[in-house]
Structure 1
Amino acid sequence: MIIADVKVGRITMPLKKPFVTKNGVYNYSNEVVVKIFTENGDVGIGSAAPAPRVTGETESSIVGAIKHITTFIKGMDLTCLQCIFKVMDECIKGNNSAKAAVEIAIYDLWSKGVNTPLYKLLGGFNSTVLTDITIQDDDKMENMINAAYEATRDGYTNIKIKLGNNVESDFEKVKFIRRAIRKGIKVRVDGNQGWSPKDAIKIIKKIEQLDLDIEFVEQPVKGWDIEGLKFIKDNVDTMILADESVFGSPEAFKVIQNRACDLINIKLMKCGGIQNAIRIYNMADTMGIRCMVGCMLESKIGITAAASFAASRGNMITADLDTMIYFAEDPIVGGAIFEGNKITLSDEPGLGITDIRGWEEIV
């Protein structure tokens, strides 16, 4: 199975309603989609979601990086995955989303070559994954409460509340949302790098004093502030999850070595693909730290790849792979099946994706 050609394109996916983050408002999502062709005509599909404020990558930089990688991997044999991954790591520094897109396509081809679904080749622990749903931060608390109530009515059993824009009101939002939904629903809080260590401890302790039953708090401080993250973790009872503090395996090693968190959020776009996701998971699992698989604002290509990895391992907590609900239409034919909070992986070879409607070739 020799890599014969690589083509890069984009898909544009309108959103049902504007997606609001502290970094901006998004009405649609552009995604880079790579197709890798072998000499025998097989096609592997991968994708990258540009997130310049998170990964530092734009559509142009992702396309350029993939073009650069292509010159090194073209002609290589897919029967030696590690050979390809080594070349990819050494031919360009960083550019993790671009590397993830190429790697997902290679894994797709590899598993198609042996006529097996990717999740089974990665470990096959399960064929389904449960995802939480994110409640976006909003100046109007009633909007957040209504969104949380509607999510539970739709069958979601895990809710993540996005905060971090206003320290004064963040606690009140957690309190009223938690009290508005029934017991048994797990609630997670995402500080979204918005608090200082002292503010985080103050808010979390107030949550604990009122017994609001919060599963964990995600990334309460800036990603670079490992000492602050550890300070919070050591001074509260609630579990602390590291997200932006862990991009690849070196950062994972650092937070694990310093016992700076209780949980780690792995995102393929952050860490550079499935290979590095496995490295992070294995380190964390060895040290008794559980992992969650998250995502950017991604299409079903990246979500299917992330869910395949999540399902392959036996010590994952419920995933954070809910972005499919935000799209007005799904241009991806095949792949994972979404039913409420349940993601079911296809038993077709590879990712199980057969077509991409609206794919526009760039190079």
Structure 2
Amino acid sequence: MEKNETKIKSIETYRGAIPLHTPFKTALRTVTVAETIIVKITCADGTAGWGEAPPTHVITGESLASIDYVIHSIFKPLLIGESLQMREKLFQKIESSVVRNTSAKAAVDMALYDCIAKQANLPLYQFIGGVQESIETDYTVSVNTPEEMAQDAKKYIENGFSILKVKVGKDEIATDIKRIQAIRNVIGTDVPIRLDANQGWQAKEAVRAIRLMEELDLGIELIEQPVIAHDLEGLKYVTENTETPIMADESVFSVYDAKRVLDMGAADLINIKLMKTGGIHQAIKIATLAEAFGVKCMVGSMIETKIGITAAAHFAASHPNIAHYDLDAPLMLIGDIANGGISYKNNQIQLGNAAGLGIQTINELYVAEKA
């Protein structure tokens, strides 16, 4: 080993599973257990980095088996023996070695960034940028009856959250309107509400629904992904025919997707998720490109554990173009899969001063097996 060079020695994976305390329902799916593949990269000097990838079939197309296969059969042979000091080479290898498989890429990407920041003896958010030391997350209200959603919203506000993200798009628009009205009746008009339709509407009905919400003065801050992901013309139609800011989510996986959305003016905002982008390295490119267009971004997530959300939070706190944060997933779980990492104080996410992600160990209670 050359002086001051640290090489990758091993890549291991583990299967984890943590139940949610309440089923999470959207227009696309219902989740009761957060399943994930945990990645540990160990370097020759003993430095260890952590990452994770949950299977989200309806969005990324990946399963536990496919994620594990790609990590061991494709990334592992490419990365073992490579130097952390040549990090651009590492991330190019990850991106070019296999198409899609973005969650598998993200897990390895964040574990590498964890190792690299630890080598620099800096928290990851400081190593890659350093904009703020804490961020404020919203809390998500799952799709249920209007009455149930109103009570959930009230509980979240009482628990210290000041922004709500409300899931819609699962059934008739009239029902969605009733849901929002019921929530407004119990939380008042001062709390910002974000809507996420998860691709649940057609373009014209989305415009009708949003215009009605505007006429009813429901106070919607923004609306995520009103139409199906591939319908950029429809997304543009909704954006141009409503006053409420429209955010692209599932329509943007790569920097190339982002460029097309931005060139078209198809959305007012972009939601960046590490599991869609393939990790932090590509996420930085999307945030920087959007900044050049004057388009702000949100950092969101899938149903991930504290490992993935810690990486997302560090990225979110590192870039000046990130204006919104949707990183509440660990709060939906009955426990923590990792010791260390971010901490929550009501709606505030504290990043801490530990080097890298600050993840120390994984909790064997929630790790089913070594993959």
Q: 2:272 & 2:30 partners in 1: Cα distance?
A: 24
Q: 2:314 & 2:361 partners in 1: Cα distance?
A: 18
Mapped contact 1:111–1:117 kept (Cα < 8 A): yes
Cα-to-partner distance string for 1:247-269 (whole Å, 9 max, x where unaligned): 11111011000000000000000
1:16-95 correspondence to structure 2 within 5 Å? 16-67=21-72, 68-95=74-101
- What residue is the counterpart of 1:246 in the other structure? 252
Q: 1:92 & 1:284 partners in 2: Cα distance?
A: 25
Matched residue of 1:318: which SS? strand
Q: 2:225 & 2:32 partners in 1: Cα distance?
A: 26
Cα-to-partner distance string for 1:264-288 (whole Å, 9 max, x where unaligned): 0000001100011011101111111
Q: How many residues align?
A: 362
Q: 2:178 & 2:304 partners in 1: Cα distance?
A: 31
> How far has the Cα of 1:12 moved from its partner?
1.4
Gaps of 5+ in 2: 1-5
Q: 1:60 & 1:145 partners in 2: Cα distance?
A: 38
Q: 2:131 & 2:291 partners in 1: Cα distance?
A: 15
Q: Structure 2 residue aligned with 1:143, among 144, 148, 151? A: 148
Q: 1:13 & 1:158 partners in 2: Cα distance?
A: 26
- What residue is the counterpart of 1:362 in the other structure? 370
> In structure 2, do the counterparts of structure 1 residues 12 and 345 end up closer, same or farther at CA, with 3 Å as the change threshold?
same
Q: 1:294 & 1:53 partners in 2: Cα distance?
A: 16
> How far has the Cα of 1:83 moved from its partner?
0.6
> How far has the Cα of 1:155 moved from its partner?
1.4
Residue type of the alignment partner of 2:10: D
Gaps of 5+ in 1: none
Cα-to-partner distance string for 1:84-116 (whole Å, 9 max, x where unaligned): 011112221211100100010000000000111
Matched residue of 1:317: which SS? strand
The TM-score, its normalising length taken from structure 2, stands at 0.95
- Farther off after superposition, 290-299 or 185-194: 185-194
Q: 1:306 & 1:23 partners in 2: Cα distance?
A: 22
Q: 1:311 & 1:173 partners in 2: Cα distance?
A: 32
Residue type of the alignment partner of 1:151: Y
Cα-to-partner distance string for 1:47-100 (whole Å, 9 max, x where unaligned): 111111110000000001101111011110001110101111222121110010
- Farther off after superposition, 107-116 or 82-91: 82-91
Q: 1:184 & 1:118 partners in 2: Cα distance?
A: 34
> How far has the Cα of 1:361 moved from its partner?
4.9
Q: 2:147 & 2:368 partners in 1: Cα distance?
A: 41
Matched residue of 2:322: which SS? coil
Q: 2:183 & 2:369 partners in 1: Cα distance?
A: 45
Q: 2:368 & 2:10 partners in 1: Cα distance?
A: 17
Q: 2:113 & 2:334 partners in 1: Cα distance?
A: 28
Mapped contact 2:10–2:41 kept (Cα < 8 A): yes
Q: Structure 1 residue aligned with 2:349, among 340, 343, 346? A: 343
Residue type of the alignment partner of 2:168: L
Q: 2:315 & 2:100 partners in 1: Cα distance?
A: 21
1:1-363 correspondence to structure 2 within 5 Å? 1-67=6-72, 68-138=74-144, 140-166=145-171, 167-358=173-364, 359-363=367-371
Identity of aligned residues (%): 39
The TM-score, its normalising length taken from structure 1, stands at 0.97
Q: 1:190 & 1:17 partners in 2: Cα distance?
A: 19
Mapped contact 1:158–1:185 kept (Cα < 8 A): yes
Mapped contact 2:288–2:321 kept (Cα < 8 A): no
Q: 1:212 & 1:162 partners in 2: Cα distance?
A: 15
Q: 1:356 & 1:14 partners in 2: Cα distance?
A: 16
- Farther off after superposition, 346-355 or 162-171: 162-171
